[in-house]
C-alpha cells in the first residue's frame, strides 16, 4: 500500500483532484456521446451504400459477361483503353469533438457515348452498357470512400475515449477516494489520540493539584 503524508493540505489536495478528474471524465463522456451520434449517422450511410455498391457490382459483372459473349474480350479491352481518363477529386474535412471527419467531392463520373472516346457508329451498344454500369459503381465507390474513412476514425476515437473514461472511473477516481479516506482516517485517529492525551494530562494535573493541597488542609486543621 502506498505511503501517504497524512496532513490537512494533502486531504484537500486529494479532494480537489477528485473534483478535477470527475469534471474531465464528464467532458470525455460528452465527447464520446457526440462521437457516437456522428458515428451512427455515418455507419447507416456506409451500410446502405455498401449494399447498393454490392448490387451495382453484381449488375456490372453481368453486363460485362454479356458484352464479352457478344463483342469478344478484345473489343472490350480496346474500348476500356480508349475511355480511360482521370477523375478529379477533393477531400475536405470538418471537426466533430476534436476528430476530423471527411467529405469527398469529385468530378462527374458518368459520361455519354460521345465523351467516352469511341465512335458511336462503330461501337456496340453493349460497350456503352458496360461502361455505364461501371461508371455507376465507381461513382458510389468514390462517394463511400470518405464515409468509410470517417467511420474508421470515429470508431478509433470512440474506443480510445471509452478507454480513458473507464480508466478514470475504475482506477484514478477510486484511488483518489481511497487515499482521501485513508488520510481522513489517520487525521481522525490523531485527533482522537490528541484529545485522549489532553484528557490524561488534565487528569494528572488535577490529581497533582489535589495531592498538593491535601497537606496544607491537614496542617491547618492541626
| Residues 63, 123: Cα–Cα separation, whole Å | 16
pLDDT of residue 213: 60
Say what the pLDDT of residue 165 is: 96
> What is the pTM (predicted TM-score) of this model?
0.71
- Distance from C-alpha of 15 to C-alpha of 181, rounded to nearest angstrom: 10
What three-state secondary structure class fits 98?
A: coil
- Whether 35 and 157 have beta carbons less than 8 Å apart is answered as yes
Q: Report the pLDDT value the prediction gives residue 1, as an integer from 0 to 100.
A: 45
Render each residue's pLDDT in the chain as its tens digit; 222 residues: 456 788 889 999 999 999 999 999 999 999 999 999 999 999 999 999 999 999 999 999 999 998 888 888 887 787 777 777 778 888 888 888 888 888 888 888 888 777 777 666 656 788 888 888 998 999 999 989 989 999 999 999 999 999 999 999 999 999 999 999 999 999 988 888 888 888 888 888 878 777 766 555 544 444
- Contact of 21 with 176, CB cutoff 8 Å: yes
In angstroms, the CA 124 to CA 181 distance is: 84
Q: Which three cell numbers stand for residue 40?
A: 451512427
CA angle 90, 93, 97 (to 5 degrees): 170
pLDDT at 2: 54
104 φ/ψ sector (left φ>0, alpha ψ -120 to 50, else beta)? beta
Q: Write the DSSP string, 32-45.
A: HHHHHHHHHHHHHH
Classify each residue of 31-63 as buried b or exposed e, where b means 16 or more C-beta atoms within 10 Å of its C-beta.
bbebbbebbebbbebbeebeeebeebbeebeeb
Mean pLDDT of the chain: 86
Amino acid at each position: 500500500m502506498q505511503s501517504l503524508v497524512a496532513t490537512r493540505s494533502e486531504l484537500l489536495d486529494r479532494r480537489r483532484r477528485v473534483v478535477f478528474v470527475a469534471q474531465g471524465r464528464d467532458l470525455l463522456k460528452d465527447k464520446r456521446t457526440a462521437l457516437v451520434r456522428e458515428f451512427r449517422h455515418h455507419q447507416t450511410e456506409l451500410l446502405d451504400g455498401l449494399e447498393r455498391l454490392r448490387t451495382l457490382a453484381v449488375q456490372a459483372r453481368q453486363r460485362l459477361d454479356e458484352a464479352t459473349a457478344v463483342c469478344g474480350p478484345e473489343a472490350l479491352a480496346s474500348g476500356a483503353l480508349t475511355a480511360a481518363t482521370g477523375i478529379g477529386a477533393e477531400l475536405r474535412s470538418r471537426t466533430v469533438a476534436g476528430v476530423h471527419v471527411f467529405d469527398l467531392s469529385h468530378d462527374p463520373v458518368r459520361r455519354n457515348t460521345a465523351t467516352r472516346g469511341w465512335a458511336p457508329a462503330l461501337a456496340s451498344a453493349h460497350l456503352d452498357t458496360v461502361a455505364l454500369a461501371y461508371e455507376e459503381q465507381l461513382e458510389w465507390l468514390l462517394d463511400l470512400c470518405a464515409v468509410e474513412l470517417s467511420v474508421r476514425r470515429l470508431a478509433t476515437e470512440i474506443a480510445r475515449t471509452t478507454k480513458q473514461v473507464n480508466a478514470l472511473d475504475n482506477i484514478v477516481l477510486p484511488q483518489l477516494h481511497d487515499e482521501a479516506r485513508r488520510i481522513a482516517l489517520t487525521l481522525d485517529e490523531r485527533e482522537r489520540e490528541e484529545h485522549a492525551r489532553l484528557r490524561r494530562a488534565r487528569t494528572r494535573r488535577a490529581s497533582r493539584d489535589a495531592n498538593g493541597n491535601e497537606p496544607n488542609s491537614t496542617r491547618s486543621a492541626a
